[in-house]
Amino acid sequence: MVCRRPLILSSVVAVAALSLLAAGCGGGGSPGVASVAATTAATTTENGLVAFAGCMRSHGVPTFPDPDNSGGIPKPQVVAAAESNPNKFKAAQTVCNRLLPSGGIGPQQTAQQQRTKLADELSFARCMRSHGMIRFPDPTAQGQLTIEMIQAQGIDVHSPAVLRAVQACLPASHGALTPAKVAQALNNAGR
């Protein structure tokens, strides 16, 4: 049986597209200034993603995609690149992560969307603890919670008790976590 590790994709809380860049503009300024600030932030993010993609390719992942028109790197192509050689992908990621914009490779979210997502993930983690998973970790401040983080707490993500708690806590995530995302994360976790 092949054991696949989750790569840069989200895990049980399925932060789905990793941690995302918070782009915001200060209030009270002129609309032109806000527009220029937003454009500058988007350009900086895109340049960082282009550099990250180039780094991944130069470190042994030749099929790693460039950012698309939405400002993110297409998830299906990232998954395909990761699955082609998980060890090289992980090694390249370790070297290249420093080039990522502060939020990750997904499409940009507003600061409010990030706060809402983090609140939903924290709600899920609290629910898991209230259902007997007392060592279940909170997501990072960037909203990342991986299978490795959960397993590092001694939690068997395949145990029936954990799976029952996940089922009970799905509503607490307010849609951030779906049965399909859970199944995908667990399939990637192997045994």
pLDDT of residue 66: 87
Q: What is the pLDDT of residues 119-129, one digit of tens each?
A: 999 999 999 99
User: b/e for 4-33, b at 16 or more Cβ within 10 A?
Assistant: eebbbbbbbbbbbbbbbbbbebeeeeeeee
Q: What is the mean pLDDT of residues 105-115?
A: 70
Q: Is residue 6 part of a domain?
A: no
Residue 124 and residue 141 in one domain? yes
Average pLDDT, the chain: 73
Residue whose C-alpha is closest to residue 12's, from 114, 159, 116: 159
Q: What is the mean pLDDT of residues 173-189?
A: 80
Higher-confidence residue of 66 and 25: namely 66
Q: What is the pLDDT of residues 18-36, one digit of tens each?
A: 222 223 333 343 333 333 3
Q: Are the CB atoms for 81 and 89 separated by under 8 Å?
A: yes
Residue 172 and residue 190 in one domain? yes
E strands present in the chain: 22-23, 109-110
Taking the C-alpha atoms of residue 44 and residue 58, their distance in angstroms, rounded to an integer, is 21
Supply the range of the domain harboring residue 25: 15-107
Total-model pTM: 0.47
Q: What percent of the chain has pLDDT over 70?
A: 69
pLDDT of residue 155: 93
Residue whose C-alpha is closest to residue 171's, from 132, 137, 126: 126
Residue 92 and residue 174 in one domain? no
Higher-confidence residue of 39 and 88: namely 88
Tally the domains of the chain.
2
Residue 3 has pLDDT above 50, yes or no: no
